[in-house]
Amino acid sequence: MTRFFVPFVVALFATMLFSEAKADVFKFVDASGHVFYTDKPKHSGYKLILHSAPVLSYVSNNAGVTRFVGKGRGERPRPQLSALHAQRQEEFAPLIDAAANKYSLDPALLHAVIRAESGYNPGAVSNKGAAGLMQLMPATASRYGVRDRFDPQENIEGGARYLSDLLVMFPSNVKLAVAAYNSGEHTVKKFGNQVPPITETQNYVDRVLGYYYR
C-alpha cells in the first residue's frame, strides 16, 4: 500500500514547492495499514513528517493580494497584510493597545504574536486545539481566566497576560519569551534557556521577530 502512495507524495511535494508559501506534510496509517499523506490533516492521528521551508518568491492571487514566500530560517519575512487582515488589524487595534498598556507590553510585539498566531482571525482553530486571536490552548485559557477563547477581548487579555509573565520569567528576553509562547516555558527551560531545537518553534520565533522588528 505504501508503494501506491509514492507517486502521490512526489506530486504533493512538487505542488507545495510551486504553489504554497509554507506546506507541511503529514502521514497517517489506519488500523488496516493503509497509509495516507496530506498537507491539511483532518484529525490528530496525522503525524508531521516533513516541514517544508518556503522558497523565495512573490505570489499574487486572483484578488490581487501579494504574499511573500520566504526562504526559511535566516531570512525574516516582510509580507504585506491582505486586505482582510489589515481590516481585522484595525478592528482589534484598540483591544490590543489596551492590553499592551495594561500589562506593560510593546503593542508592536503583541501585534506580531497575533499576526503570526492567527492572522487576526478571532475564529482560528489549530489542529492542536489552540483557538482565537492569540491561539490559546484550553489549559492556558483556564490559567488566565479566559472563559470564551473566541471572544477577542478575553483572548487578547489572556494572551497578553501570558506573554507578560513570560517576559518576567525570561527577563526582557523577547526571543525566549516568544519561543516559550509557542513551545511552553518548561520546554525553553529544559533546553537551558535557549530557543528549543524544534523546527516549528525556531520558525515561529523568526516569523514573530520578523514582524516585530520590521
Catalytic residue among 75, 90, 91, 117: 117
Residue 117 appears among annotated catalytic residues: yes
- Which residue has cell 473566541? 150
Whole-number Cα distances in Å, 209 to 112, 120, 123, 198: 7, 17, 24, 17
Alpha helices in 28-184 (DSSP H): 83-102, 107-118, 138-143, 152-169, 174-183
Distant-in-sequence contacts of 88-93, Cβ < 8 A, 24+ apart? 88/119, 88/120, 88/121, 88/122, 89/115, 89/120, 91/120, 92/120, 92/122, 92/133, 92/152, 92/156
Collect all residues with Cβ–Cβ distance below 8 Å to 198 and sequence separation of at least 6: 183, 187
As annotated, the active-site residues are: 117
